[in-house]
A and B are shown apart, each in its own frame.
Chain A
Amino acid sequence: MSAKGKTIPVLTVISVIVVIWYACVVWMNAPFEYDKAERAGTQIGFSQLVSNTMSQQRPVLPAIHQIADEMYKTIVLKNITSKRSLVYHAWITLSATLLGFALGTLLGILLAVGIVHNRAMDKSVMPWVITSQTIPILAIAPMIIVVLNAIGLSGLLPKAMISTYLSFFPIVVGMVKGLRSPGQAQLDLMHTYSASTAQIFWKLRWPSSMPYLFTSLKIAIAISLVGAIVGELPTGAVAGLGARLLAGSYYGQTIQIWSALFTAAILAAVLVMIVGFAHARVLKRMGQKPEGAAT
């Protein structure tokens, strides 16, 4: 019912975007065609212009079918071990994303636990956590890579560190709120049982924080992917979606840039969906009231 109710609005939005996109393709790629026609000393008709703008080698804005065609060639047709396969590049980025996400989640949870349980950490850590996110990641990413390289770390880990740097933030913020979400009555109840801090944590704070954790995880996984791509940009990485973006921009390969972008977007959507699915599973196991159920 709800899925059916969503289909038409979603399709409407998509078709509007496609129409605007193609209008932009014609509009933005037209100057090149006019230029070419002028140099050749010929006139170009409108239908010819439209068809030409959609089949340029290096368009300002490639048409969607050109991107789809490029993605089909580089994802499906190429062997996945090939350096030209987007699957290969996506995997390089994904592995850094997942490692960074795991480390970021762990770091975020540990910091949140510390902040909730330790007064000194509560007063001192949060300002630094917030400050860390005000530094532009593009500025700090090359330094992280260089510093880690100097101590002999290269490849996957430095990129993952940038993902970690970005992804621990929503986890800390969400988990501090989540671990503090139990009300005074629930804490009083634990106090009347003379429960230990560890018991209060595992039996009350941790389960209470689950909805907050998963909301944060959704943000963290998407931002981890951004971090991994950013980590590939300034380092002259030879592989990964970031490297594809960079190489594409060096050589004016706009179609290649856009296919890497689309692949990254699809990857992000899939990752967020997986987290969302895990969220639903955990809440179901925790006996959450199904939506629309009578009280």
Chain B
Amino acid sequence: MSQAVVTANDLSLTFQTNDGPVHALAGVNLSVAKGEFVSFIGPSGCGKTTFLRVIADLEKPTGGEIKVNGVDPETARKARAYGYVFQAASLYPWRTIERNVALPLEIMGFSADEMRQRIARTLDLVNLAGFEKKYPWQLSGGMQQRASIARALAFDADLLLMDEPFGALDEIVRDHLNEQLLKLWDKTNKTICFVTHSIPEAVYLSTKIVVMSPRPGRVSDVIKSTLPNLRPLDIRESPEFLKIAHRVREGLRAGHSYDE
């Protein structure tokens, strides 16, 4: 087993609200190894986004332990261990695409020369070369999300945290971006944690699928994918793919998520 990038031990997080405590995460045990592509799937309120935010040090756990690259999330964040891709591209409308990608580089104090190289390299990686001078509004939704992925890749973090990055896009664009993301993952050897609502997306992309259930948010099943690393889009019609998708669906059903 290769080195663990994320390990969670009996992790729990309870939000105190006016309607009483909400158990967003309870007793989560999980480990993500280097180079894995892990999808988190489950109904709303199952804590998949919260778990990603805990890894990113955007939320503090109230119990248990979590390590990112062997240290606590805050230290990992300060060491620039991860790039985060939000559901909305959240590009700055007043910056061109290249200046948006430059944003983390400026903050982290890269030299101008280094910035230029990295911008060119990452925009190339997401097939946005030639769009450097465009403003976000001049790009389609899919292209904007690719630019935001480029922004997360620009400073070479080994871990990529993606929170439903393609959730707002239509199916055709989503298929295309899924394919591109797999190629990118294959090329860069990153570890990716990917939150999604879509079963086909989770099965198509992942080496490991974490099925979660709500109230309290917990892991109900962890499925290792048996699909090969090289995955053409039509693999989604293969019996093996359907078998994994079926098990994910069973896992979601077992979490009683459709009763409420």
A residues within 8 Å of B by Cβ? Answer: 183, 185-186, 188-195, 199, 203-204, 207, 210, 286-289, 293, 295
Rounded to whole angstroms, the CA-CA distance of A241 and B86 in the bound complex is 56
The answer to whether B77 and A194 touch across the interface, beta carbons within 8 angstroms, is yes
Among A185, A191, A293, A295, point to the contact of B88 (Cβ < 8 A). Answer: A185
Q: What are 28 A-B residue pairs whose CB atoms fall within 8 Å in the complex?
A: A185-B86, A185-B87, A185-B88, A186-B90, A188-B58, A189-B86, A189-B90, A190-B107, A191-B58, A191-B77, A192-B56, A192-B57, A192-B82, A192-B84, A193-B103, A194-B80, A194-B107, A195-B107, A203-B103, A203-B106, A207-B94, A286-B94, A287-B135, A288-B93, A288-B94, A289-B93, A289-B135, A289-B137
| A residues less than 8 Å from B57 (CB atoms) | 191-192
In the assembled complex, which residues on chain A have CB atoms less than 8 Å from the CB atom of B15?
none
Main SS at interface, chain A = helix
Render B73-103 as a binary contact track against A, CB cut-off 8 A, 1 for contact. 0000110101110111010111110000001
Measured CB to CB, the closest approach of chain B to A247, in angstroms, equals 49
On chain B, the number of residues with a Cβ less than 8 Å from chain A's Cβ atoms is 25
- Say yes or no: is B104 at the interface (Cβ < 8 Å to chain A): yes
By secondary structure, the B interface counts as loop
Smallest distance from the beta carbon of A130 to chain B beta carbons, Å? 29
- Chain B residue with minimal CB distance to A200? B107
Instruction: Please encode chain B, from 107 to 146, with 1 for each CB lying within 8 Å of some chain A CB and 0 for all others.
Output: 1100000000000000000000000000101000000000
The CA of A191 and the CA of B135, in the complex, are separated in Å by: 23
- B107 in contact with A204 (CB, 8 Å): no
Taking beta carbons and an 8 Å cutoff, which residues of B are in contact with A?
56-58, 77-78, 80, 82-84, 86-88, 90, 92-96, 103-104, 106-108, 135, 137
Chain A residues in 8 Å Cβ range of B90: 183, 185-186, 189
**B140's closest neighbor in chain A, by CB?**
A295
Asked if B82 and A287 make an inter-chain contact with CB atoms under 8 angstroms apart, the answer reads no
Given contacts A185-B88, A188-B58, A295-B137, contact A193 B93 (CB under 8 A): no
In the assembled complex, the CB of B150 is this many whole angstroms from the nearest CB of chain A, namely 14
Taking a contact as CB atoms closer than 8 A, the residue among B80, B95, B108 that contacts A287 in the complex is B95
Look across to chain A and name the residue whose beta carbon is closest to the beta carbon of B58.
A188
CB of A170 to closest CB in B, whole Å? 23
A194 and B137 CA atoms in complex are apart in Å by 27
Q: Hey, which chain A residues are within 8 Å of B56, CB to CB?
A: 192
Q: Given A203-B107, A295-B137, are A287 and B58 also a contact pair (CB < 8 Å)? A: no
Asked if B84 and A189 sit within 8 Å, CB to CB, the answer is yes
